[in-house]
Structure 1
Amino acid sequence: MTVRHDPIPADSSADATTDPAPRPHASAEEVAAARSDTKLAQVLYHDWEAETYDDKWSISYDQRCIDYARGRFDAVAGDQPLPYERALELGCGTGFFLLNLMQSGVAATGSVTDLSPGMVKVALRNAENLGLPVDGRVADAETIPYDDDTFDLVVGHAVLHHIPDVEQSLREVLRVLKPGGRFVFAGEPTTVGNFYARWLGRATWEATTRVTKLPFLADWRRPQQELDESSRAAALEAVVDLHTFDPAELEAIATAAGADGVQAKTEEFAAALLGWPVRTFEAAVPAEKLGWGWARFAFTGWKSLSWLDEKVLHHVVPRGYFYNVMITGTKPLATD
């Protein structure tokens, strides 16, 4: 069976109604085809996840996630005057990063783009529910469908590792930025961090799904159909996660793309050692089994270990051992 993967139009004048429709349920044939077509895999996987993504990753648009998003931004660009007039989120997902940054006062208006029509749909719905002035397009990060010198700020969270040609995408980011405009990308996996996070995730999933087969824990087990669906999604996830980054190498990529003032910082070492088993466990058991007490444990545990990372471990652990890398830079000012 041949699965058609229509190209994303790059014309900034195209109306949003021309964007492709979401495909929330991928067939086995589509999944098979996606193994050799990474951009099709991106669309199928993220369309699949769009309607449940916020719940899966405990994403919200309240003070908890506003503070989290703003903390990531301030870690690399906190000394800049605010607000930026117009911001773009690349690979927006459900809009988590930009919408929470806008709520914190980082940007006045926004645009969201993603290769997944399902994610753009959810991001725009979230923006509307929050009363934020945001437009959106289905777009390939390597050919951003906006004119030169359009945005004051471009942001992204956990997106660069999905893009086949990261340097080309950053060239596009610099093209659509106004001279002196800034980009901030956060939530990218380091090479070492990704190794231990994946290992912890697999071990937790295997242990949880095995233990919940015991009769007296049967009500802690998700229906087999849901577990099978998660396994199929995980198969696509292995295709869509294309890169991990050494912080110095990511700085070199951004500099080669033409950015000025490039700086990368890392975070989450002890916090990641807790966070990945917690998130995997949450995905493996029925949501109704995890109440407010669990949520409080997960959040306070993450905050405490993040404090340990920032105040202590950053001084003794090499930056490449932390799980997340953030990077910022600016578009060079125009010269005569």
Structure 2
Amino acid sequence: MSPDPEPRPHPTAAEVEAARRDPKLANVLYHDWEAGSYDEKWSISYDERCIDYAAGRFRHAAGDADWPYERALELGCGTGFFLLNLMQAGLATHGSVTDLSPGMVEAALRNAEGLGLPVDGRVADAERIPYDDATFDVVVGHAVLHHIPDVGTALREVLRVLRPGGRFVFAGEPTKIGDFYARRLGMLTWKATTTLTRLPGLQGWRRPQAELDESSRAAALEAVVDQHVFDPSELERVANAAGAADVRVVTEEFTAAMLGWPVRTFEAAVPTERLGWGWAMFAYRGWQRLSWLDENVLSRVVPRAWFYNALVTGTRPA
């Protein structure tokens, strides 16, 4: 088994240019670049707030009748947000994390060690998972499928490494319609914030120009790493064609996404020290209330394709 490659958090201009034509290289460079600040950027934590969030996403897709599982794999782990919080919620007793980005695997393992969780990790392509057949009881991922060039191949690999009857759950995948309105809300928020903070009296709310420029470069590369947006029915067809059983796609976040994207964009455009605990609670409680509205009221009348997030689950046939 060859050693994992080293992270490349500071790519050369030539590497960035090459990445524009190579989605997998773009994913490595972008996520190595983001690994050190990713948890802060997306308000990721490993406490009750995110434990409840991760467990809620899994249960929304698949319930919890089979908990606890013994061995769990996270595909495209990032800093470990989904699996580590699910393990804290009692999903599994042992975890493995994989990601194309060496920097993200390092961050996930560092977070797991800090939490005292039994987790191993590998740098890996989701289309060629480096584990034996029938190794895992459950495979999870959050906001990963839309980065993978060949989703069907990745799902076939997921089914291969699952034990018969094992389940997969992937959450946080953007829908076509949701991505359309969310990105536009984000762009409008970025333009308004970076314009208004030039005005006298508001310049203390403006990040240094070098940081804003770096965020803009990251956003440009993000357009390369994001390979797909999904129609829920089409995502079901892809999972069924890969050989999965019991396939189900649900969606969530309609009004919650209309708040969440402007909030996250605003946070990226202003100095962190300007936003205290009060802001964090406003953002979180606002998201909670709108998510309740989406789930309990609007999901009954609004087509599922209009919601921002898709969650897909299925099993390996027994």
Do the two structures share a fold, i.e. TM-score over 0.5? yes
| Structure 2 partner of 1:8 | none
Aligned to 1:77: 62
- Equivalent residue of 2:46, what SS? coil
Give distance in 2, aligned partners of 1:215 and 1:151: 58
Cα deviations by residue, 1:55-86 (Å, 9 ceiling, x for unpaired): 00000000000000000000121142211000
Distance in structure 1 (CA, Å) of the matches to 2:235 and 2:209? 40
Residues in 2 aligned to 1:104 and 1:204: alpha-carbon distance in whole angstroms: 35
Displacement after TM superposition at 1:217 (Å): 1.1
Write the distance in 2 (CA, Å) between the matches of 1:23 and 1:81.
39
Aligned twin of 2:215? 230
SS in structure 2 at match of 1:329: strand
1:255 shift after superposition: 0.2
**CA distance in structure 2 between the partners assigned to 1:264 and 1:81 by the alignment:** 19
User: What SS does structure 1 have at the residue aligned with 2:8?
Assistant: coil
* Alpha-carbon distance in structure 2 between the residues aligned to 1:249 and 1:311: 25
Corresponding residue for residue 154 of structure 2: 169
Give the one of 164, 167, 170 matched to 1:182. 167
What residue in structure 2 maps to residue 214 of structure 1?
Answer: 199
Question: Structure 2 matches for 1:135-150, cutoff 5 A?
Answer: 135-150=120-135
State the alpha-carbon separation in 2 of the partners of residues 256 and 118 from structure 1. 33
Secondary structure at the counterpart of residue 326 of structure 1:
strand
Give % identity.
Answer: 75
Point out where structure 2 has 5 or more consecutive residues left out of the alignment.
none
C-alpha deviations, 1:116-165, integer Å up to 9, x for none?
Answer: 00000000000000000000000000000000000000000000000000
Corresponding position of 1:261 = 246
Deviations 1:282-309, CA, capped at 9 Å, x for gaps: 0000000000110010001000000100
Gap runs ≥5 in structure 1: 1-13
User: How many angstroms apart in 1 are the aligned matches of 2:30 and 2:281?
Assistant: 30
SS in 2 for 1:216: coil
Label 1:124 to 1:79 Cα distance change in 2 as closer, same or farther (>3 A): closer
Deviation at 1:26, TM superposition (A): 2.1
2:307 aligned residue: 322
The match for 2:73 is 88
**CA distance in 2: counterparts of 1:174 and 1:214, whole angstroms:** 55
Correspondence 1:1-336 to 2 at 5 A: 14=1, 18-333=3-318
Aligned CA-pair RMSD? 0.7
Query: For the residues of structure 2 that align with 1:31 and 1:268, how far apart are their CA atoms?
Result: 33
Which AA in structure 2 matches 1:121?
E
What letter corresponds to residue 43 of structure 1 in structure 2?
Answer: V
Instruction: Name the SS for the 1:172 alignment partner.
Output: helix
1:183 counterpart SS class: strand
Q: Distance in 1 between matches of 2:42 and 2:286?
A: 16
Cα distance in 1 for partners of 2:17, 2:270 equals: 27
After TM superposition, give the deviation of residue 22 of structure 1 in Å: 0.6
- Quote the Cα distance in structure 1 between the aligned partners of 2:35 and 2:65: 32
Instruction: Supply the AA of the counterpart residue of 2:9.
Output: P
Deviation of 1:27 after TM superposition, in Å, equals: 2.6
**Deviation string for 1:34-55 (max 9, x for gaps)?**
1001110000000000010000
Shift of 1:214: 1.2
Partners of 1:198 and 1:156 in 2: CA distance: 22
Structure 2 distance, partners of 1:86, 1:306, is 31
One-letter code of the match for 2:189?
T
Q: Distance in 2 between matches of 1:255 and 1:68?
A: 27
Q: 2: distance between equivalents of 1:287 and 1:60?
A: 16
The one-letter amino acid of 2:231's match is D
Alignment-derived partner of residue 4 in structure 1: none
Q: Which amino acid aligns with 2:141?
A: G
Moved over 6 A (4+): none
